[in-house]
Structure 1
């Protein structure tokens, strides 16, 4: 028996010594950094890379944490539905006293479970959205030289469940986080790292991680089926489409119009072939296979279509058709929609991430009492335009039954005519 105790004692001593060596070798001191405008600028670059505006406008986030805790977070309403084991808590993050607790589906009064849900949410949401929190109240930002590159050190002086924690964000060349190092109260070892590289771009345009790998014993944290949505924005978009008779638009085969009296169009929507004419040029444009397009000068067909002219026709069509049918494109692939309040009324912000000639443009649609667009504010980074206003006037009901605008006006007094607009089958 004495030999057994002696063996156990030696084993414990070896474990303690090994642990001490591991701690000594791997423990890193909290790096020093410099606060100020450079640190803030680096933080802003990171937020821009992740599309922080889209995050702020996102309505709902869903995820799980290590397949143990499951979340639906109505971010705009500050309400989180959290479930684990036999428990479910509807947590009001700003007013915890309003929270509801269910055990096996039966509502109960249990303050301890509300507190537990708060702690779960503080921890588990951090692993989902930490990069978006770098300007939260109580945060300090410092710029640190790490491996000859700028890194961002964030210290949480207040807030959450464990104030005082610090995180050093390591960024790639596009300022997207690839990992962070942690100095936290719940991990005694300083500088433990975790990856932030398994990103998913969700439906609302924000990037969210799907899992993390820790340097500590190779631990992995799964974030489950990460998703985001803007249900209210989608609902408003559908109201707009109903108001402008979008179902009739989808069935409309031919559209004809002109643009400021300079260019004319006839678009076969079914075949997606469009005649584009200006000056003495006519292009029979195939937007999906531009090499199949044909070019005419003074009604004479070119033997080999001039690719420069075809490209110009493609750009013209993308721009000029947008001024005719943009409201009908609210559900196109690559669109991100969110609700904004303008003069206490709901407006729809639409950002195009793909398609057209200038992806990245955004438009804030202002609506009349019938949900028909009356104007929008344009933000076109490639043209250095920010929230430039234009009206959508003189809507007509075409022969095919859809609604299309015939005129636009601008704040500088200028106008834009769409000519004799037609839609028919």
Structure 2
């Protein structure tokens, strides 16, 4: 028996020594950093890279945590549906006393489950959206020199489940986070790292991680089928399309119009070929295969097409058709839709991330009582527009049944006529 106790004692001693060696070898102190303008600018650059504006407008986020906890979070309503095992909690994140608890689908009162759901949510949502929270109240920011590059150290002085924790964000050359190192109360080892990669571009325009890998024993965290979208904004967009008879627009073959009386168009939507005339020039433009385009001067076809003229025609078509059919293009690829309030009424903010001549532009659509656009505010960085207004008025129901505008008026009183607008088959 004495030999057994001696063996157990030696084994325990070896384990303690091994743990001590492991701790000394891998434990890191929190790096020193500098607070101030440089740290704040670094945080703002990271938020810009992650599309923070889209995050603020995101309505719904869905994910799971290691397939154990499942979430549907209505961010702007501060409500999260948290499910695990046979429990479901409708968690009011700012007012947990209003939360509802279901066990096997039956409503019950159980404050312990509310507290558990809140702890799950605080932890698991952090692994989804932590970089978006670096400017939240109760955070301190420091810029740190990490391996010769700037890194962002965030310390949480309040909020969440474990205030006092610190995280060092490692950024790439575009300021996107690629990993972080942790100094937290629940992990006794300082400087444990985790990846922040495998980012997914979501419908709402934000980038979210789908999994993480920790340096501690190679642990992995799967975030499940990550989604972020704006269902109310999509509903509003569908109401606009119904109001302007988008169904008829999709079936319309030919559209004719002019732009300020200077340029004239006949667009075969079915074949996606548009005839554009200005001055003494006419271009039969194939927007998707510009090499097939033909150029005419004084109605004489040029044997060798002038690529500069074709490019100009392409730019003209993108600009001038936008002023005619933009509301019909709310669900095209590369568009982010969100809702903003204008004079206590819902308006639709549409941001173009790809396509056209100037991706990155945004337009805030102001609607009448029937959801027909009556004006918009333009946010076009390339033209230094920060909310420039223009009306969309004198809507005409064309022969094909769709609605198209015939006039626009700018804030300075200048009128932009779309000429004799036609839509037919």
TM-score (norm 2): 0.99
- Give the SS at the match of 1:123: helix
Q: Name the residue aligned to 2:316.
A: 316
> What are the Cα deviations for residues 358-404 of structure 1, in whole angstroms up to 9, with x where unaligned?
11111000001110001001111222221111110111111111110
- Number of corresponding residues: 425
Q: Name the residue aligned to 2:13.
A: 13
Is 2:60 aligned against 1:53?
A: no
The gaps in structure 2 that reach 5 residues or longer are none
Q: Name the residue aligned to 1:164.
A: 164
Q: Name the residue aligned to 2:268.
A: 268
- CA shift at 1:103, angstroms? 1.1
Residues of 2 paired with 1:8 and 1:380: CA distance?
73
- Give the SS at the match of 1:322: helix
- Give the SS at the match of 2:191: strand
Q: Name the residue aligned to 1:380.
A: 380
Residues of 2 paired with 1:7 and 1:342: CA distance?
76
- Give the SS at the match of 1:210: strand
Residues of 2 paired with 1:116 and 1:263: CA distance?
65
Q: Name the residue aligned to 2:356.
A: 356
Q: Name the residue aligned to 1:279.
A: 279
- CA shift at 1:35, angstroms? 0.9
Write out aligned runs for 1:227-238 (5 A).
227-238=227-238
Residues of 2 paired with 1:8 and 1:108: CA distance?
49
Write out aligned runs for 1:325-344 (5 A).
325-344=325-344
Write out aligned runs for 1:297-316 (5 A).
297-316=297-316
The gaps in structure 1 that reach 5 residues or longer are none
Residues of 2 paired with 1:26 and 1:309: CA distance?
64
- Give the SS at the match of 2:242: helix
Is 2:75 aligned against 1:75?
A: yes
- CA shift at 1:3, angstroms? 3.0
- CA shift at 1:277, angstroms? 1.0
- Kindly report the root-mean-square deviation, in angstroms, between the aligned alpha carbons of the 2 structures: 0.9
- CA shift at 1:194, angstroms? 0.5
Residues of 1 paired with 2:73 and 2:140: CA distance?
26
Q: Name the residue aligned to 1:42.
A: 42
> What are the Cα deviations for residues 210-259 of structure 1, in whole angstroms up to 9, with x where unaligned?
00111111111110000011110000000000100111111110000111
Residues of 2 paired with 1:6 and 1:295: CA distance?
96
Residues of 2 paired with 1:284 and 1:396: CA distance?
26
Residues of 1 paired with 2:296 and 2:17: CA distance?
85
- CA shift at 1:6, angstroms? 2.6
- CA shift at 1:15, angstroms? 1.7
Residues of 1 paired with 2:81 and 2:3: CA distance?
55
Residues of 1 paired with 2:403 and 2:8: CA distance?
84
Is 2:373 aligned against 1:368?
A: no
Q: Name the residue aligned to 1:424.
A: 424
Q: Name the residue aligned to 2:239.
A: 239
- Give the SS at the match of 2:401: coil
Residues of 2 paired with 1:403 and 1:360: CA distance?
27
Residues of 2 paired with 1:314 and 1:12: CA distance?
77
- Give the SS at the match of 1:118: helix
Q: Name the residue aligned to 2:134.
A: 134
Residues of 2 paired with 1:283 and 1:4: CA distance?
95
- CA shift at 1:353, angstroms? 1.1
- CA shift at 1:262, angstroms? 1.1
- Give the SS at the match of 1:188: coil
Q: Name the residue aligned to 1:293.
A: 293
- Give the SS at the match of 1:8: helix
Residues of 1 paired with 2:10 and 2:102: CA distance?
49
TM-score (norm 1): 0.99
- Give the SS at the match of 1:129: helix
